Structure formats: C-alpha cells, structure tokens
Amino acid sequence: MVDEMSTWKVIAERGTSSNVWVLEQPELGAISEVTRLDQVVDDMLEPIAYLSGEPVDQIVIEVDIVLPDDLREQLETLDAAKETHVKAQEALFYGLRHTAASVVDAGLSYRDAGYVLGVSHQRVAQLVGGKTG
C-alpha cells in the first residue's frame, strides 16, 4: 500500500518592522520566521510533522505568499506575458519546422534552405529530421 502524501498550506507574509517573512500554518498553529522564501519548507517541515503526527517524508508544503495587491497584479501581468511568449515561441518553432520541410521538399539543398530561412544548414537538417532533399 502506498502512503498518501499530506499537503499543508503555509502562509508567508512580510514582517512589518523587519526583513523577515512571518510563517503560519493556521490549522496546526505552527508559526516561524525566515529571512528568505526558499527557507520556508525546511523551516516548517519539522513543526508540521510534530504537530500533525505525520512522518516528515509524507508531508508536502504549499507556500501561499501574501503580497500587496499592486505587486500581485504586476506578477499576474508578467505571468500572462510569459504565457504569451511561450505560445509565440511554439508557433515560431512549428512554423519554422513546417516551412523548412516545404523548402527542402521544393528541392533546395540544406545550405540554400538555411540561407533562405536565416538559419544554419545544420538547423535545417534538425528541423526536417535529417530528411534529404
């Protein structure tokens, strides 16, 4: 039988008078402070295990970072821009791959196809999967 992992949410909020993050796991009443967000899991794992009675290796910690509304909106805008960028990169790759195949199918050498597409002849070979033309 596989043991189920237990997920606990930890709230991390910037302290008002110092440069620390105040951590809280409300259901268990666990609290702590860290100077960096990458320390949250290490700092809260043992207290959560102790208070919940669960083995450390069966605990997953999700960190809920509390930020001011304006900063949260900026991050959401950035996330949307990243997603748009990833989609554009995928479209560019598939468009380049399709066009490279079409150019090679039209009888151009890899070198000529590379020149036309603005990439190396090696890249053309990668894009068309080593297909000779």
Query: Phi, psi at residue 106, to the nearest 5°?
Result: -80, -5
Quick check: 85 pLDDT over 80? yes
Quick check: 126 pLDDT over 60? yes
DSSP 36: S
pLDDT at 130: 62
Non-local CB neighbours of 66 within 8 Å, separated by 6+ positions? 11, 12, 13, 14
The burial class, CB within 10 Å (0-12 / 13-18 / 19+), for 123 is middle
Quick check: 10 pLDDT over 60? yes
Please name each of the domains of the chain with its CATH number: 6-66 (3.30.2390.10), 71-127 (no CATH)
Q: What is the pLDDT of residues 16-67, one digit of tens each?
A: 777 899 999 999 999 999 999 999 999 999 999 999 999 999 999 999 999 9
Q: What is the pLDDT of residues 91-116, one digit of tens each?
A: 999 999 999 999 999 999 999 999 99
The model's pTM is 0.64
